[in-house]
């Protein structure tokens, strides 16, 4: 056990209401319910524009049992049409995490992947019809694009059989006729066609790599017959994570690569890659889901791109930042002089916005509601900590509720994102506000190994998972207790998926926590390595080491084998249908803790997989977690 001396001092945590009633921070009442926090978590993505410039996007709706719907601007200003009828949900499960699951064929038709059977469906607006294009019981599909010249869908296919899982790039006609275009690699993503459909580009990679460690980029000529010729490849000379290929109007191919340490934009010339937009920042997010778009070209040839900074993102036109009320941008689509994207801000819900590039005018199409009064809204404070050579990052949210003011110290909840090669961003999140409204501070942490701080920061976690991020958590706690008025007796930690693993390891190695939560978290990395899906089947070798030669590391870093070292109460939440982290992992951890006489709670959801998509379940998690932490807080008062 590593003792944090700064975390064992006694303290008194009080706040006083403006009405004069004494109230302990962490127990403040709030009008923001768990149901409201979850209902407002509608997510947007997969944007597109038709030939007339009308905007389309996909909405994730937790209140409709986690259904994904394609929406578009209505015929009348300010109206929205839901195009996906009940009984369908637009979602791919290729690589389990999916990605772009639909594409426009023209202004009257689109093709989408249906969540229930993972097949391609053709939807026609004028006739109101939907029909299946594919009928395979063993195949899934991802990132469909329309080849107008050959009248076919180009798409990533994933075939499941008893012998294993195979991925390839295929073409499928609207009559269901299928041809294989490329199948030499373990994984494929980002098929993209030039405007005349005479060129095709795509990304591929092989085990043991992930799409953020090393990939290949291909380009080929597409013959009138649909066959590929003159196939060229880059990515052989050095490990680089090539991503997001895209053609401009002239047929020149661009892509992102981190060969110089940051995901920046290059153009593929005959003699190699030419840098186009270079800066000391990443310009794309880590490609956990296929089909992300962070740049595009206007009708006049202007480059629209994103720069990701710790303080927030910038939307740039030809490298110059555009002034908007938003600080996070993703899922860009550009047509003519119109750009649409998904945008976040610090005080309002995520939005779908449209920008008139000629006049720099921003229009909100969907979302952007202000759910809390300004005095009730906790704003993200960029938080940097650690030594200069090991600088780490996160966002601190202080308690915010205009009925109360914190006089002394306040409890803290540390949020650990999943991945672990992912990131959190300084955008408004009602699930964070749920805590700050009740008197908790929240630290949303981007420990070393997180994305969007450059390749070196991402790579720092190689073979160090379970140790390095715990050291970062320790340092963050020390500095927050010393400088941010945090109650050292009221610190909690929570994480989902890989973040749950890190939270459990922090609870066993640091004795400063009053409680913690694991949401479908990893408890036995060796078991995960043996049972997880294809996409992540070699990820553990990068994060920890070879499961045979480095078996001792897996044993030492497995929370399930160190239940006796966890001194604080723990609550678990797990989906029974989880194919990434099996429910058996959570059950084994719970059993180990109970055998040690620890205080533990566990909640299982029969209708959930990896992540809770249904509103009622997500709200239940928040309510139970809050009640669990309140029982653990010292100096409790009756509210």
pLDDT per position as a tens digit, 95-152: 999 999 999 999 999 999 999 999 999 999 999 999 999 999 999 999 999 999 999 9
Give the mean model confidence (pLDDT) for residues 470-478: 97
Q: What is the DSSP letter of 108?
A: S
The reported pLDDT for the residue numbered 408 is: 78
Contacts of 225 (CB under 8 A, 6+ apart): none
Let me know: does 346 contact 309? Beta carbons within 8 Å: no
Q: Is the pLDDT of residue 580 over 90?
A: no
CA dist 269 and 194 (Å) reads: 15
H-only helix segments in 80-124: none
Greater model confidence, 506 or 371? 506
Let me know: does 257 contact 241? Beta carbons within 8 Å: yes
The 3-state secondary structure of 121-169 reads: EEEECCCCEEEECCCCCCEEEEEEEEECCCCEEEEEEEEEECCEEEEEE
Greater model confidence, 20 or 82? 82
CA dist 600 and 594 (Å) reads: 7
Dihedrals φ, ψ of 315, to 5°? -100, 120
Whether residue 472 has a cis bond before it, omega within 30° of 0: no
- pTM, two decimal places: 0.92
Q: Is the pLDDT of residue 12 over 60?
A: no
Q: What is the pLDDT of residues 385-424, one digit of tens each?
A: 998 788 999 999 999 999 998 777 899 999 999 999 999 9
CATH-assigned architecture of domain 372-632: 3-Layer(aba) Sandwich (3.40)
Give the tokens for residue 27. 């127990």
Q: How far apart are the first and last CA of the chain?
A: 35
CA dist 398 and 380 (Å) reads: 8
The reported pLDDT for the residue numbered 42 is: 82
- What is the full DSSP assignment across 389-435? GG-EEEEEE----TTEEE-S-EEEEEEE-SSSS----S---HHHHHH
Q: What is the pLDDT of residues 308-354, one digit of tens each?
A: 999 999 999 999 999 999 999 999 999 999 999 999 999 999 999 99
Closest CA to 17 of 29, 4, 33, 2: 29
CA dist 438 and 452 (Å) reads: 31
Q: Which of 14-28, 236-250, 370-384, 608-622 has the lowest mean pLDDT?
A: 14-28
CA dist 79 and 9 (Å) reads: 57
CA 552 to chain centroid, in Å, comes to: 31
Task: Report domain extents, the chain.
Answer: 372-632
312-317 sheet: strands from edge to edge: 295-297, 303-309, 312-317, 320-321
The reported pLDDT for the residue numbered 634 is: 63
- As a whole-number percent, the residues of the chain with pLDDT over 90 amount to 88
Whether residue 420 has a cis bond before it, omega within 30° of 0: yes
Closest CA to 421 of 513, 296, 535, 548: 535
CA dist 420 and 462 (Å) reads: 11
Give the mean model confidence (pLDDT) for residues 419-446: 97
Contacts of 460 (CB under 8 A, 6+ apart): 448, 449, 468
What mean pLDDT is reported for the chain? Answer: 93
Q: Is the pLDDT of residue 78 over 90?
A: no
The reported pLDDT for the residue numbered 91 is: 98
Contacts of 111 (CB under 8 A, 6+ apart): 102, 103, 105, 120, 121, 122, 123, 133, 144, 146, 153
């Amino acid at each position: 056990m590593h003792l944090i001396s700064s975390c064992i001092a006694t303290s008194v945590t009080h706040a006083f209401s403006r009405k004069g009633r004494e109230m302990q921070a962490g127990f403040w009442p709030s009008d923001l319910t768990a149901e409201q926090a979850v209902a407002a978590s509608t997510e947007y993505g997969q944007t597109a524009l038709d030939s007339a410039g009308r905007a389309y996007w996909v909405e994730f709706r937790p209140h409709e049992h986690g259904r994904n719907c394609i929406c578009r601007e209505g015929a009348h200003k300010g109206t929205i049409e839901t195009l996906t009828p009940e009984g369908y949900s637009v979602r791919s499960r290729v690589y389990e995490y999916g990605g772009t699951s639909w594409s426009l064929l023209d202004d009257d038709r689109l093709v989408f992947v249906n969540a229930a059977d993972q097949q391609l469906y053709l939807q026609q607006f004028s006739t109101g019809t939907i029909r299946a294009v594919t009928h395979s019981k063993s195949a899934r599909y991802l990132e469909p694009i329309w080849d107008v010249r050959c009248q076919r869908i180009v798409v990533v296919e994933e075939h499941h059989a008893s012998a294993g899982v195979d991925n390839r790039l295929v073409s499928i006609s609207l009559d269901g006729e299928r041809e294989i275009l490329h199948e030499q690699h373990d994984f494929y993503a980002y098929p993209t066609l030039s405007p005349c459909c005479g060129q095709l580009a795509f990304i591929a990679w092989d085990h043991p790599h992930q799409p953020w460690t090393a990939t290949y980029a291909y380009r080929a000529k597409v013959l009138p017959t649909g066959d590929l010729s003159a196939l060229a490849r880059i990515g052989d000379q050095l490990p680089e994570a090539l991503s997001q290929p895209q053609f401009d109007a002239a047929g020149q191919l661009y892509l992102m690569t981190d060969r110089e340490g940051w995901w920046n934009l290059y153009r593929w010339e005959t003699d190699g890659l030419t840098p186009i937009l270079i800066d000391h920042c990443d310009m794309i997010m880590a490609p956990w889901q296929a089909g992300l778009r962070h740049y595009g070209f206007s009708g006049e040839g202007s480059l629209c791109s994103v720069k990701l900074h710790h303080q927030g993102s910038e939307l740039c036109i030809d490298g110059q930042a555009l002034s908007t009320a938003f600080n996070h941008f993703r899922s860009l689509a550009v047509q003519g002089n119109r750009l649409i994207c998904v945008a976040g801000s610090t005080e309002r819900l995520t939005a779908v916005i449209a920008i008139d590039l000629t006049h720099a005018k921003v229009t909100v199409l969907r979302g952007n509601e202000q759910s809390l009064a300004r005095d009730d809204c906790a704003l993200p404070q960029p938080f940097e900590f650690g030594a200069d050579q090991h600088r780490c990052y996160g966002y601190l949210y202080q308690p915010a509720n205009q009925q109360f003011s914190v006089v002394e110290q306040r409890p803290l909840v540390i949020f650990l994102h999943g991945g672990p090669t992912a990131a959190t961003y300084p955008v408004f999140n009602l699930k964070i506000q749920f805590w700050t409204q009740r008197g908790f501070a929240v630290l949303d942490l981007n420990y070393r190994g997180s994305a969007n701080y450059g390749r070196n920061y991402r790579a720092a976690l190689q073979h160090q998972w379970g140790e390095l991020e715990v050291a970062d958590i320790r340092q963050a706690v020390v500095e927050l207790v010393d400088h941010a008025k945090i109650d050292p007796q009221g610190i909690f930690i929570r994480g989902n998926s890989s973040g749950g693993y890190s939270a459990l390891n922090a609870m066993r190695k640091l004795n400063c926590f009053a409680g913690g939560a694991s949401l479908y978290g990893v408890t036995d990395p060796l078991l995960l390595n043996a049972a997880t899906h294809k996409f992540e089947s070699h990820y553990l070798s990068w994060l920890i080491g070879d499961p045979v030669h480095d078996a001792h590391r897996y044993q030492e870093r497995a929370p399930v084998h160190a239940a006796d070292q966890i001194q604080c109460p723990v609550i678990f939440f797990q989906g029974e249908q989880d194919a990434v982290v099996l429910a058996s992992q959570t059950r084994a951890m719970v059993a180990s803790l109970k055998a040690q006489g620890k205080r533990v709670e566990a909640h299982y959801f029969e209708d959930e997989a990896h992540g809770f998509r249904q509103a009622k379940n997500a709200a239940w998690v928040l309510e139970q977690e809050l009640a669990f932490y309140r029982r653990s807080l010292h100096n409790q008062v009756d509210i």
